[in-house]
Amino acid sequence: MTDVRPHPPTGAGPLHHAPRYRWTILGVATFAQAASGFFVQGIGAMGVHLQRDLHLSTAQLGLLLSAAQLVPLVGLLVAGELLDRYNERWVVGAGASVVAVSLGLGSMAPGYVSLLLVLLMVGAGYSTAQPGGSKSVASWFDESQRGLAMGIRQAGVPLGGVFAAAVMPILAAALGWRATLTVGGLVALAGAVAFMGFYRRPPVHGPPQERRQQDVTLRARLRILRQPSMVRIILSGVCLVSVHSAVGVLTVLHLHETASIGAGDAALVLVAAQAAGAAGRVCLAAWSDRSGSGRYATVMTCMVAVTAGMTALMTPAGHSPIAASLLFLWLGFFGIGWYGPWVAHLVESAPRGQTGFALGLVMAVTQIAIILAPPSLGLLKDATHSFTPVWGVLSAMTVLALVITARGGRR
């Protein structure tokens, strides 16, 4: 499964037209990302059906999403180390295959507990998708186009969510939730086959001294977490992934319970919000390529925008079907779209020769928020019987992180 042999130079094999082939790489990396996350991204859209069929509380529904994000706490670190040593082709492809097999087995799960265990296995395979796809795209594009390329690649997550939110509620209503696992497994398998079939490393690799840095001790490499740029990246990432989780899990429930929108129409709003997030990842990342203020200024703009949107949801506008739907589109664009410029900034802030490790490490830290946010926000909503405290807590947390990172940037 490993490929440590030198790759052919430009002019050999499929890399003869390397400048054009990078767009093929971008396409398959985006598809693999969307396919791997298809089922996980669609859990929120079928929340009403899961609650009804499995008799779940909001907190239990949030725990389902967290289950797929638990193993990546360690899995991202392992994936990052593997990506610095072996070909991304096999690391990402193997991970997507694990997702496919797990969901296939999960179609036979008898109930809620079994579904939790299946999603733990899905998380193990999904660990390779984010750092692997990011590193593969970053290695093919230089800084002048890296933001745009990374934004397009990162759009794979909300794009997968768009299709999942559109298809999975229909499948769940017509065939049951087990059928959705089977479909999710087939989609993930298609992503694995596409990535392993088309991905190749760039024809020109880094100098030998970059590769030798892989032998630096783990303790020394963990020091990158103390770098001011990494501190800003982590703080902003923790807040914004929490907002992303809230959009994915609570959009349908908020619109259904607070704005009195039917479950089907509310799911369509989530589809539109995911689509807005995909557009945001491309547009905001492209903007970061041209912004004289740097990529992190784009991330800070997203933090301001999501705070404004969540604050508006706590006003009477959050009870209006039209206004609330528009606000969730706004939160989709900025609360999902931030990831493109954020991950491009992370790649460019990583030490030379340790891109995979840095990606895995920082994503593992932010993974804590991805795990804790859905059940915590669901529990807060269940305890208060209102969505206002949820949006209030997220707004306060984002403002605090924005102030801290802005001061750190000025220093």
**More confident of the two residues 220 and 321:** 321
Backbone φ and ψ for 127, nearest 5 degrees, come out as -60, -30
Alpha-carbon span 230 to 77, nearest angstrom: 16
The number of beta carbons lying within 10 Å of the beta carbon of residue 297 is 16
Whether residue 210 has pLDDT greater than 60: no
Range ranked top by mean pLDDT from 189-198, 303-312, 334-343: 303-312
User: Which pLDDT band holds residue 214 (cuts at 50, 70, 90)?
Assistant: very low
Q: 313: which residues sit within 8 A by CB, 6+ positions away?
A: 254, 324, 327, 387, 391
Position 196 pLDDT exceeds 50: yes
What pLDDT shows up at residue 207? Answer: 42
What is the per-residue pLDDT for 178? 78
| 209 pLDDT tier (thresholds 50, 70, 90) | very low
Query: Domain residue spans in the chain?
Result: 14-201+221-410
CA distance 165 to 293: 36
Q: What number is the average pLDDT over the span 309-321? A: 91
Please write the tens of the pLDDT for every residue from 257-269: 888 888 778 888 8
φ, ψ of residue 400 in degrees (nearest 5): -60, -45
Higher per-residue confidence, 404 vs 205: 404
Q: Which long-range contacts (CB under 8 A, 24 or more apart) does 226-232 make?
A: 227/349, 228/408, 228/411, 229/296, 229/345, 229/349, 230/349, 230/358, 230/362, 231/405, 231/408, 232/296, 232/405, 232/408, 232/409
pLDDT of residue 318: 86
Phi-psi region at 87: left, alpha or beta (left = phi > 0; alpha = psi -120 to 50) = beta
Mean pLDDT across the stretch 178-186?
83
| Mean pLDDT, rounded, for 115-139 | 81
Q: Say what angle helices 177-198 and 18-36 make with each other, to 10 degrees.
A: 160
pLDDT mean over 255-284: 85
pLDDT of residue 409: 54
> How is residue 14 written in tokens?
């499929």
Return the minimum-mean-pLDDT range out of 2-6, 72-76, 103-107: 2-6
Give the span between the Cα atoms of 325 and 23, in whole angstroms: 35
Q: With 50 as the cut, is the pLDDT of residue 87 above it?
A: yes
Tell me if 134 sits within 8 A of 359, measured CB to CB: yes
Evaluate if pTM is beyond 0.85: no
For residues 92 and 25, what is the distance between their CA atoms, to the nearest angstrom? 13
The mean-pLDDT minimum among 8-12, 272-276, 348-352 falls in: 8-12
Q: Where is pLDDT greater, at 303 or 14?
A: 303
Q: Which residue has the higher pLDDT, 25 or 5?
A: 25
**pLDDT at residue 109 in the model:** 72
Which tokens is 159 given? 């794009």
Fold annotation for 14-201+221-410: Growth Hormone; Chain: A; (1.20.1250)
- In sequence order, the 6+-apart residues with CB closer than 8 A to the CB of 331 are 243, 247, 273, 306, 309, 310
| Cα separations in angstroms, 14 against 3, 82, 193, 228, 395 | 17, 25, 17, 41, 49
Whether residue 274 is predicted with pLDDT greater than 90 in this model: the reply is no
The total number of residues shown for the chain amounts to 411
How many CA atoms within 13 Å lie on the side-chain side of 306? Answer: 36
CB 300, CB 380: distance < 8 Å: no
Q: Is the pLDDT of residue 372 over 80?
A: yes
Question: Which residues have CB under 8 Å from 315's CB, separation 6+?
Answer: none
pLDDT, position 334: 94
- Average of per-residue pLDDT across 276-300: 83
pLDDT above 60: residue 130: yes
Span 114-137, average pLDDT: 82
Give yes or no for residue 220 having a pLDDT over 70.
Answer: no
Q: Tell me the one-letter amino acid at 355.
A: T
Please tell me the number of Cα atoms within 13 Å of 214 on its side-chain side: 15
